[in-house]
Chain A
Amino acid sequence: MTGSSFLHPAAAFLALGILLPFIRGSWWRWLTPIPAILAIYSVFTVAPGDYGGLTWMGFNLSLGRVDALSTIFANVFAIQALLGFIYSLHQEDKRQHIAACFYVGGAFGCVFSGDYLSLFAFWEMMSVASTMLIWLNFRENKRSLAAGFRYFLMHTFGGLLLLAGMLLRYKALGTWAFTPVDPSAAHYYDWLIMFGFGLNAAIIGLHAWLPDAYPEATVTGAVFMSAFTTKTAVYTLARGFAGWEFLAIMGVVMTLYGVFYATMENNARRILSYHIVSQVGYMVAGIGIGTAMTLNGACAHAYAHILYKGLLFMTVGGILYATGTQKLTELGGLASRLPIVCLCYVVAGLSISGWPVFNGFISKTITIAGAFEDHRTLLGIGMELAAVGTFLSVGIKLPYFAFWSKAPDTTRVLKPIPWNMHLAMILGASLCTLQGLFPQALYWLLPYQPVEYTPWTAWHVLQSFMLLSFAGFAFYLMRKTMKPHEQRNIDFDYLYRLVGRGFLFLVSKPVAWLDSIWTEVYARVGLKGLMGGAAASRVFDVSGIDTVVDGSAYTTRGIGRGAAKTQTGRLNDYLAGAVALAAAVLALVWGLR
């Protein structure tokens, strides 16, 4: 089906990103929410169809594939973009807004791309723009430069995996179309593409860029980044790789791995970053299991996750903005000093934990129930276990040590939080709550209809309350053990660094040694041989080439002079010469007989 009209949400973001450098004054900040408002209008009014097809260098590109799957992701992207731009309305650094515009525009571009070529272009746009959101924090945080560089290297690697896969796929199939891959007929290029997407989804082993970079980003930039990179990857995996067993298992590993590291962490934004890994794990597992219910669960959880994770980064960003630190060991007793931030954090923390009333309850449980109903009991138990860990670390530990663990802190000087940051938090908290109370407001967007899951049953509510309340009791009993410590927990990024340093060592030591040996050999043997060869060449040139060439020249000159002497101009001389030549020829012929 081809729709009649479609205002591509990316267009307004990209247009604003291009225009902003040319606008003077400070009124431009009021323009920043406009693309998001247009995007909301667009995604709520567009009909399914194929829009915006174009031909480029002989290839047919599709920029506007609108269906249930792309619509649900675009829907929450638009809402979160509005919240993000409201949250950053006070931000005077224009470059951050420009980077955010290209980043969000790139995410919309990916979601609506129907082919790999345009998807790749938007994918890379996101990579570059999000790197800027890290680097632009360099005045506040010196670590952001190195972290941004590592982030960009990793995403370049992921982009190359994707590029290699799509080129090989094109060579094999002759099409750029971005279509589902049957796991039983997957080729090596499909795996390359899957790992390219997987890196952005932070699958374990390729995930360490996330907790490395997000805590170093700008306060407002991290809010955007928490929403778009990993969820765009989840969209691409849902579009192309549903039913892949590798993803089902990897997803559950992600859910557990993320909570394990979050439980150990001291840096609040790194805790949240590890929880992105964990929560995206639920989505990846749902995609990997691949039933209609778990795919709905993955999409629903992506939607809810974007809202509550954005809220978590907004509130923790608020703490960082007000106090200047994000270390739990340096926080505590702030509940009465930052009451709105505290309340909104609690809503976000209960949402991510799957607490009834809030939106995690109506999204996370779909995937878990879907796993059990597909008789994947171990996967289901693994996800329940991760839910316990989630509540322990981000539901209780972080707020406890940031807001309550000490007596009310009345002496700390706090930087006032701008009204727009508070407004964005309150809007985010309201959406998390409303969505939890009215699940149909989310379920009608899900790709597989009808949605045969009812979260608000007495048993589901009781089960969630029991699981989480007793996990809270475990925290109460072990609260002294849970106390955070100033430490850096090494992860796979240590391995990346080892590989990097190994390469540096290889180049600077053994390869440099080999190079010095080669230089010596060249100086002693090669150079002397070359000089000897040159001398021999000179002798040959003088005594051989020159002799032959000069001899030929001398001979030619002699013949020329002799011939000139024969040109007397007298006829009788020429006749005598002709007779002599004829006699010589006759004598030669006679002799050869």
Chain B
Amino acid sequence: MSEALSRFFLWAHENRNLFRILFFVVLVVLVALNVFEKPEHPHVHEEVYPGFWAVFGLGAGVVMIYLIKRIIANLVAFDEDTYDRL
């Protein structure tokens, strides 16, 4: 099992472009499905629009990464051994 898995991971690494394309296809399919599949009892009004949670996930992800890694991380980052010296 271990060796078969190992070979699979090596194959996946060599064929990562295939996975990348597959990933983009899945994203499109998900939003397309949302045109037909809607919540019976929306938790927020915007849920009725197809792709709302896709936009939420993408927007929240981008904003969060930018905010945390570009701004907050610079404010709280110290040397790794800071606490060893305190």
- Bitwise interface map of B from 27 to 38 toward A, beta carbon under 8 Å scored 1, else 0: 100110110011
Complex contact A339–B5 (CB within 8 A): yes
- Bitwise interface map of A from 478 to 503 toward B, beta carbon under 8 Å scored 1, else 0: 10011001111111010001000100
Interface: B18 (CB within 8 A)? no
CB-nearest residue of chain A to B73: A264
Bound CA span A253–B5, Å: 39
Interface: B82 (CB within 8 A)? yes
Complex contact B30–A388 (CB within 8 A): no
- Please tell me which one of the listed residues A384, A470, A481 contacts residue B65 in the complex, with CB atoms under 8 A apart: A481
**Contact status of A343 and B5, CB under 8 A, knowing A466-B31, A478-B65:** yes
Complex contact A263–B43 (CB within 8 A): no
- Please tell me which one of the listed residues A384, A472, A491 contacts residue B23 in the complex, with CB atoms under 8 A apart: A472
Q: In the complex, how many angstroms separate the beta carbon of B8 from the nearest chain A beta carbon?
A: 8
Complex contact A501–B86 (CB within 8 A): yes
Q: In the assembled complex, which residues on chain A have CB atoms less than 8 Å from the CB atom of B81?
A: 488
- Bitwise interface map of A from 259 to 293 toward B, beta carbon under 8 Å scored 1, else 0: 11001100000000000000000000000000000
- Comparing A179-187, A242-250, A456-464, A540-548, the segment that makes contact with chain B is A456-464
Q: In the assembled complex, which residues on chain A have CB atoms less than 8 Å from the CB atom of B26?
A: 469
Interface: A380 (CB within 8 A)? yes
- Central interface residue in A336, A403, A470, A478, by most chain B CB within 10 Å: A470
Interface: A90 (CB within 8 A)? no
CB-nearest residue of chain A to B20: A476
Complex contact B64–A388 (CB within 8 A): yes
Bound CA span A475–B38, Å: 26
Bound CA span A404–B61, Å: 21
Interface members, chain B 24-58 (any A CB < 8 Å): 26-27, 30-31, 33-34, 37-40, 43-44, 51, 53-58
Complex contact B13–A335 (CB within 8 A): yes
Bound CA span A369–B37, Å: 18
- Please tell me which one of the listed residues A380, A388, A482, A485 contacts residue B60 in the complex, with CB atoms under 8 A apart: A388
Q: In the complex, how many angstroms separate the beta carbon of B78 from the nearest chain A beta carbon?
A: 5
Complex contact B13–A336 (CB within 8 A): yes
Total cross-chain contacts (CB, 8 A): 163
Complex contact A478–B39 (CB within 8 A): no
Q: In the assembled complex, which residues on chain A have CB atoms less than 8 Å from the CB atom of B66?
A: 478, 481
Q: In the assembled complex, which residues on chain B have CB atoms less than 8 Å from the CB atom of A474?
A: 57-62, 64-65
Interface members, chain A 367-382 (any B CB < 8 Å): 369, 372-373, 377, 380-381
Interface members, chain B 1-26 (any A CB < 8 Å): 1-3, 5-10, 12-13, 23, 26
Complex contact A463–B53 (CB within 8 A): yes
Complex contact A264–B83 (CB within 8 A): no
Q: In the complex, how many angstroms separate the beta carbon of B63 from the nearest chain A beta carbon?
A: 9
Bound CA span A481–B61, Å: 12
Complex contact B60–A385 (CB within 8 A): yes
Complex contact A466–B34 (CB within 8 A): yes
Q: In the complex, how many angstroms separate the beta carbon of B48 from the nearest chain A beta carbon?
A: 12
Q: In the assembled complex, which residues on chain A have CB atoms less than 8 Å from the CB atom of B64?
A: 259-260, 263, 385, 388-389, 392, 474
Bound CA span A458–B37, Å: 7
- Central interface residue in B6, B7, B9, B73, by most chain A CB within 10 Å: B9
Q: In the assembled complex, which residues on chain B have CB atoms less than 8 Å from the CB atom of A493?
A: 83
Complex contact A489–B76 (CB within 8 A): yes
Complex contact B30–A465 (CB within 8 A): yes
Q: In the assembled complex, which residues on chain A have CB atoms less than 8 Å from the CB atom of B51?
A: 466
Q: In the assembled complex, which residues on chain A have CB atoms less than 8 Å from the CB atom of B43?
A: 369, 372-373, 377, 380
Complex contact B54–A470 (CB within 8 A): yes
Complex contact B13–A408 (CB within 8 A): yes
Complex contact A470–B13 (CB within 8 A): no
CB-nearest residue of chain A to B43: A372
Q: In the assembled complex, which residues on chain B have CB atoms less than 8 Å from the CB atom of A335?
A: 9, 12-13
- Please tell me which one of the listed residues B33, B61, B72 contacts residue A392 in the complex, with CB atoms under 8 A apart: B61
- Please tell me which one of the listed residues B44, B60, B77, B84 contacts residue A489 in the complex, with CB atoms under 8 A apart: B77
Q: In the assembled complex, which residues on chain A have CB atoms less than 8 Å from the CB atom of B56?
A: 384, 388, 467, 470
Complex contact B40–A468 (CB within 8 A): no
Q: In the assembled complex, which residues on chain B have CB atoms less than 8 Å from the CB atom of A471?
A: 57-58, 60-61
Bound CA span A401–B6, Å: 17
CB-nearest residue of chain B to A478: B65
Interface: A473 (CB within 8 A)? yes
Interface: A342 (CB within 8 A)? yes
Q: In the complex, how many angstroms separate the beta carbon of B5 from the nearest chain A beta carbon?
A: 4
- Please tell me which one of the listed residues A380, A385, A478 contacts residue B62 in the complex, with CB atoms under 8 A apart: A478
Q: In the assembled complex, which residues on chain A have CB atoms less than 8 Å from the CB atom of B84?
A: 143
Interface: A477 (CB within 8 A)? yes
Interface: A340 (CB within 8 A)? yes
- Central interface residue in B39, B57, B64, B80, by most chain A CB within 10 Å: B57
CB-nearest residue of chain B to A479: B65
CB-nearest residue of chain A to B81: A488
**Contact status of A377 and B76, CB under 8 A, knowing A463-B53, A465-B30, A481-B65:** no
Bound CA span A260–B61, Å: 11
Complex contact B69–A490 (CB within 8 A): no
Chain B positions within 8 Å of A, measured between CB atoms, are 1-3, 5-10, 12-13, 23, 26-27, 30-31, 33-34, 37-40, 43-44, 51, 53-62, 64-66, 68-70, 72-73, 76-84, 86
A and B contact pairs by CB, cutoff 8 A, 10 listed: A336-B9, A380-B44, A408-B9, A408-B10, A469-B57, A473-B27, A485-B77, A487-B79, A488-B77, A491-B76
Besides A340-B2, A488-B78, 13 new A-B residue pairs in contact (Cβ under 8 A), listed by A number? A263-B68, A264-B69, A336-B10, A369-B43, A381-B44, A392-B64, A392-B65, A404-B13, A458-B37, A462-B30, A465-B30, A470-B61, A482-B65
Chain A positions within 8 Å of B, measured between CB atoms, are 143, 259-260, 263-264, 335-337, 339-340, 342-343, 369, 372-373, 377, 380-381, 384-385, 388-389, 392, 403-404, 407-408, 458-459, 462-463, 465-478, 481-482, 485-491, 493, 497, 501
